[in-house]
Structure 1
Amino acid sequence: MLAGRLHVSTGSFAVEEVDEPHAGPGQVRIAVRAAGVCLSDVHLIQGMLKPLHLSGDSVTLGHETAGVIDEVGAGVTGLTVGERVLLQAGEIRDGVVLTRGVDYDGGWAQFAVATAGTVVPIPDTLSFEQACFVPDAVSTPWAAITTTAGVRPARAVGVWGVGGLGAHAVQLLRMIGAAPIIAIDPLPLARERAVRFGADLALDPGDPAFAALVAEATGGAGLAYAFDFAGVAPVRVQATRALAKGGRLTLVGLTDQPLTIPDGTRFSYLEQEIRGHYGSGPEHVLELLSLVALGRVEFSRSVSGTWPLAEAAEAVRRLDAKEDSPIRLILIP
């Protein structure tokens, strides 16, 4: 079968012919119908991120995966051949958090094997192209908003970076009643999209009037919550300065750069907080699927394009270059 393989030691990526996997005890195999291309995949290929628990030197990328069960291993109950499913983006084994497509083979392939407990049935009304990225692209901002930051309604929120995760954050914040929602992105296309997704205001972080505009939008109080979805050090400095008394900055975007607080005394005096965030739990994916089933949220606008699996490298290039400011590019095996 074809699979998009990263060779970690050399940093090389290619779509290659590999042996088909088969479902072992406690596992199922799915015929992959759609797999999302995430900025984390780009960072893995570029070497900015490294697998922590990978056994061996190569891995099939892709932590956002949906398809149809075509093999059921021994001992698996409650899942049947032909079911439409998505795969959770990771799992816990022996107390260690492992990420699909990073620490073990993922979904950039024609077939993918998964532990039965990470397989989630999806409704017929949800397309594979939209279902595949619910784990991570939607569940990560959802978990950051509801669990790590604990956003309350009618509180001012700033979202830095309106890409694959930030665009969904704006949509979800609107749904739960955060207000005003201020989206911050240097790309005009991303700012325009943020308004369509529910932002009350979209700002360029380089605008000389940035601080004054945030103050005006928040009645001079500043932001109760701020989210860094960009993983860029200057964003964190700017976001910290925009926080209100007791304000909370949640770091979702990943970077290896140092975290700097520009005025530590002010930060302490105003009793502000910075919290790290990574991924989501299985419950967050299930919550989102319930919301989809109830018609509270839908993701058709998030599919920015589809590409054959064989052209995965081109999809990666386009995402890295931010061509047309994509939310999610989808690989179709």
Structure 2
Amino acid sequence: MATMRAARLDVRTLTLEVKDVPRPVPGRGQVLVRVRAAGVCLSDVHLIDGTLRPLHLEGDEVTLGHEVAGVVEELGPDVAVSGVGDRVALQAGQTDRSGTTLTRGVDYDGGWAEYALADEETLVPLPDDLPFDQAAIIPDAVSTPWAAVTSTADVGPAEAVGVWGVGGLGAHAVKLLRLVGAAPVVAADPDPRARERALAYGADAALDPTAPDFLARVGELTGGRGLDAAFDFAGVPAVREQALRLLGEHGRLVLVGLSDKPLEIRNSTRFSYLKQQVLGHYGSEPEHVVQLVELVGAGRLDFADSISGTFGLEDAPTAVERLEKRTGSPVRLILEP
């Protein structure tokens, strides 16, 4: 039996181990992808620390990694379009026959391995000039904020927006909000390195949300009308309370950062009078990944500055530790099996 190396999480003991496992064989409508790059996401950290638990995993172990790009290595029966050698990114999840949404690297094996199985319909073709490391992070790291900006919040040109948390997702949100014409784009993060990054990614202002004059500064930047949309990428109650205070008429607060803490609207009369909204957001749809790949191909987007470090598969635990401790304030770390 052929084997491969994979970073496997035991969800009972919360231990991550890189070890030999059977190399998967593609079934009907599936392909085997030789993984060339896989992103390390904060969701992976939360799976390892037990904050996030798989809902639909069969068994006690899973290969992590939901941000994956590589080359088609082998075709299963009835594969209609894909061919061996195709350069592809993998959608971060799929829907099973019962209609349940499953997440790659959470509910079934992902891409922290030498090879990954994928249903043909989850493949996204890549142009030859798009590097695998940049392609890998498009599903989730870029597509999640893209979906939040364009679908959930439906941000339009010249709308004033705020982004709390300029990490892996928030940094891309700043870049994408600039692309769709939002103005001003105000980034909020207590980390000075994150604020510098926000300005480099196109924010009109990058502020410390703990500063005494933060609310007044945002008021000045929006001409006193408040924010049309506020994005919480931190998942922190204090952020949500602050963002709600800064919403203007018809303002939308979009909750992207995950939290098990309650959400409190202290002045519900004002909230209702101004017809404000709180909108939950999770992940993206397949078309969002396709749109982003096309935008990269058209020269509208580039993610070279998003790659903060590259590691071999055997060093997956080191990459996880570095992300967890935010060593160097990374946007995205990449594994190259």
User: TM-score, with normalisation over the residues of structure 2?
Assistant: 0.98
> What is the number of equivalent residue pairs in this alignment?
333
Matched letter for residue 327 of structure 1: V
Instruction: Report percent identity of matched pairs.
Output: 62
- Picking from 17, 23, 47, the partner of 1:44 is 47
The question of 1:218 aligning with 2:222 is answered: yes
Match status 1:145 vs 2:153: no
Give the corresponding residue for 2:8.
Answer: 5
Amino acid at match of 1:243: L
1:265, distance to aligned residue in structure 2 (A): 2.1
**Alpha-carbon RMSD:** 0.8
Whether 1:64 aligns to 2:67 is yes
Matching of residue 118 in structure 1 with residue 122 in structure 2: yes
Q: Aligned to 1:98, what secondary structure does the other structure show?
A: strand
In structure 2, distance between residues paired with 1:258 and 1:53 = 25
1:24 to 3, 23, 27: 27
The 3-state SS of whatever aligns with 2:166 is: coil
TM-superposed CA distance for 1:260, in Å, is 1.7
| Structure 2: gaps spanning 5 or more residues | none
How far did residue 306 of structure 1 move?
Answer: 0.1
Query: How many Å separate the matches in 1 of 2:318 and 2:53?
Result: 22
After superposing on structure 2, the runs of 4+ consecutive aligned residues of structure 1 that deviate more than 4 Å are none
**In structure 2, what residue type is equivalent to 1:91?**
Q
1:179 pairs, out of 174, 180, 183, with 183
Query: How big is each residue's C-alpha offset from its partner over 1:210-234, in whole Å with a ceiling of 9 and x where there is no partner?
Result: 1100000000111000001111121
Matches within 5 A, 1:91-102: 91-93=94-96, 94-102=98-106
Give how far 1:2 is off: 1.2
Q: Report deviation, 1:34.
A: 0.3
Separation of aligned partners in 1, 2:241 and 2:327: 27
| Alignment partner, residue 255 of structure 2 | 251
* Letter aligned with residue 251 of structure 1: L
What amino acid is the match of 1:331? L
Counterpart mapping for 1:195-210 below 5 A: 195-210=199-214
Q: Distance in 2 between matches of 1:219 and 1:65?
A: 43
- How far off is 1:264 after superposition? 1.9
Aligned with residue 319 of structure 1, among 302, 305, 323 = 323
The aligned runs of 1:157-306 (5 Å cut-off) are 157-306=161-310
For the residue of structure 2 that corresponds to 1:258, the secondary structure is coil
Residue of structure 2 aligned with 1:81, choices 60, 81, 84: 84
Asked whether 1:109 is paired with 2:124, we answer: no
Give the secondary-structure state (helix, strand or coil) at the position aligned to 1:213. helix
TM-score by length of 1: 0.99
User: Unaligned stretches of 5+ in structure 1?
Assistant: none
Deviation at 1:259, TM superposition (A): 1.3
Residue-by-residue CA offset, 1:101-149 (whole Å, 9 max, x unaligned): 0000000000000011001110011000000010000111000000000
Deviation, structure 1 residue 10: 1.3
Task: Report deviation, 1:58.
Answer: 0.9
**Alignment partners' CA distance in 2, 1:7 and 1:260:** 36
Q: Describe the SS at the equivalent of 1:231.
A: coil
